[in-house]
Structure formats: C-alpha cells, structure tokens
Amino acid sequence: MSDPNIPDMKEESHQVNLNPQPLPPGEVVMSTGETLTNIFFEPGRVFEALRVRPRFLVAGLIILIAITAYTVALYQRVGYENFIRSTIESSPQSANMPPDQKERVIEMQTGPVFKAINYASPLIGVAIFIALGGALYLLGTMVMARSISYKQSLSVWTYSSLPPTVIAMLLNIVLVFIKSPDEIDPIQARRGLVRANLGLLVDQSAHPVLATALGSIDLLSFYGLFLAALGLRKVARLSTGSAWTIVLIIWLIGVILRLAFSAFTGGAM
C-alpha cells in the first residue's frame, strides 16, 4: 500500500509536463492572425516571430486572392473579349498581321481554354513568385555566410510582399470601378492602374523600355524592399548593409530582366 503522505510521483510528473516551456529571452511568438495584421504596423516584431515560427501559406493565399480579385474585376469591367481584342490590336507583334489572321488569334484567345488559362494564371504566377523569391533570399543569405532555412526565407519573401501587394490591388480595384471602361488601357492595366512610379512621365507605347526603367522606381516596390531588408536582418541575423545588398541585387536583376523582355517584345513591363 502506498503511504498517503507521500506524493504520487506519476501524478506530479503529469502535472509538470502540462506546464508550458518558457520561451528563450528575446524571442517573439505571434499567431498567424497577429502576423498578418502587425506586418502593416510592427513589421520588425513580426519578422522576429517568423524567425521562431516561420509561416507563409496564409499570407501567400491572401496575395493570390488579391491579385485574382483585381484580374476578375478588370475582365468583368472591361469585358473579357474587349480586353483581349484591345491587347492584341495594340500589341507591336500584331501590327503587321493581316486582319483575318488577327481575328483568328482573337477568336483563339477568347475561347474557353485560353480564357480558363488567363483566369487561372495568377495561381501559377504567385506560386512561382513565392517559390523563386524564397530560393533567392536563401541563396543570398548563404553567400553572406549566414544560416537560414528555406521556410524562413519563404516567410521573409511572402510577408515583405504582402503589404505592398494588398495595398496596390485594393487601389487597382477601386480605380477599375471609378474609371470608364473606355479609359482603361489594357497594356497598362496588366501592370496595374495605380501609378506610384516615374513611368507616368513617358508614353509607354512610344518608349516601352524607358517606361519600364522609370516604372521600376516605384513607391510600393520600395516599401516592399524596405520590408524585405528588415525581414532578412531580423530572421537571418544579418547586418543592415548585408540585408540591403541582397535585396537590391535581386531587385536589380529583376529590373534588368524586365528591360530585356521589354526590348524583345516591344512593350512596357
């Protein structure tokens, strides 16, 4: 028989295991809802929390929903067939097309298969955008001789992209319904109707490469760059200079690729 004055070791052990382990000093933990809200107001603390518990799925879904909502609103407001027709007719590649060939291209692009592809394209684009961005931040951090997991780099890329994307898409949706459909340029609309960059200083149809270069000097893009540098500094424990070096090099590579594509296609990017 057990002595009633002796504590039950099994029960005591079970009670001890129920006590939560204290967090290491200086570590911040947030729920997903808190990270999604506080990234707009306390980004530094959010990235400190993402270092402990990296996450990106819900933020990535919000980015996808925001971009898809703008795409659907644009097609509905302008008319999908009108949008495709205006895009093709204003494209430099179709300038020398015979009218019957141009009509066949428009008919094909407005068919159910291509229509489904155009509506679903944000899903593919956002997935590639996040996966590639996380890989680039991981590579850049490794070059700087620091350690970061791929999941952490995905968190930095996704959460630094979330605020500027959500703000831009909300403003774009508002402009879609404020503007008359006849005032919406399909070439510009593909990049967004919000013009928070220097691209508005030139005619992008007449000077596509210059418009692409000036369009890269964008207020919302720089907001995202600031968040990305802050995120790398907090999550990977990088210095401010190293974090900005990674972010700016990747941004410059993206600008060069857009300029090359713009020169090749003859359209602004």
The DSSP line for 193-206 is S---BGGGGS-TTT
3-state secondary structure of 218: strand
Q: How far is Cα 244 from Cα 234, in angstroms, rounded to an integer?
A: 12
> Is 53 a domain residue?
yes
> Is 156 a domain residue?
yes
> Which residues make beta-bridge pairs with 218?
197
Tell me which residue range forms the domain holding 182. Answer: 29-265
Q: How far is Cα 257 from Cα 251, in angstroms, rounded to an integer?
A: 10
Q: What is the phi/psi pair of residue 97, to 5°?
A: -75, 140
The single-letter code of the amino acid at 75 is: Y
- Is 214 in contact with 195 (CB distance < 8 Å)? no
The alpha-helical segments, DSSP class H, found in the chain are 9-18, 32-38, 43-52, 57-78, 80-89, 99-109, 112-143, 150-178, 186-191, 208-215, 219-235, 240-265
Cα distance from N-terminal residue to C-terminal residue, the chain: 83
What pLDDT does 22 receive? 54
> Is 116 a domain residue?
yes
Q: What is the dihedral of CA 56, 60, 62, 66, to 10 degrees?
A: 160
> Is 19 a domain residue?
no
Q: How far is Cα 66 from Cα 169, in angstroms, rounded to an integer?
A: 6
Ordered mean pLDDT values, 10 residues apiece, the chain (269 residues): 49 46 66 95 96 95 94 90 81 73 83 86 90 96 92 97 96 93 81 83 79 88 96 96 96 93 77
Q: What is the phi/psi pair of residue 218, to 5°?
A: -120, 135
User: What is the CB-side half-sphere exposure of residue 235 using CA atoms within 13 A?
Assistant: 33
Q: What is the pTM of this model?
A: 0.84
- Is 213 in contact with 206 (CB distance < 8 Å)? no
> Is 16 a domain residue?
no
**Residue pointed to by tokens 């605020």:** 163
> Is 129 a domain residue?
yes
> Which residues make beta-bridge pairs with 197?
218
What pLDDT does 101 receive? 81
What pLDDT does 11 receive? 44
What pLDDT does 21 receive? 52
DSSP state of 85: H
**How many domains does the chain divide into?**
1
Query: Nearest Cα to 161, choosing from 218, 219, 227?
Result: 227
Angle at CA of residue 64, ends 187 and 89, nearest 5°: 15
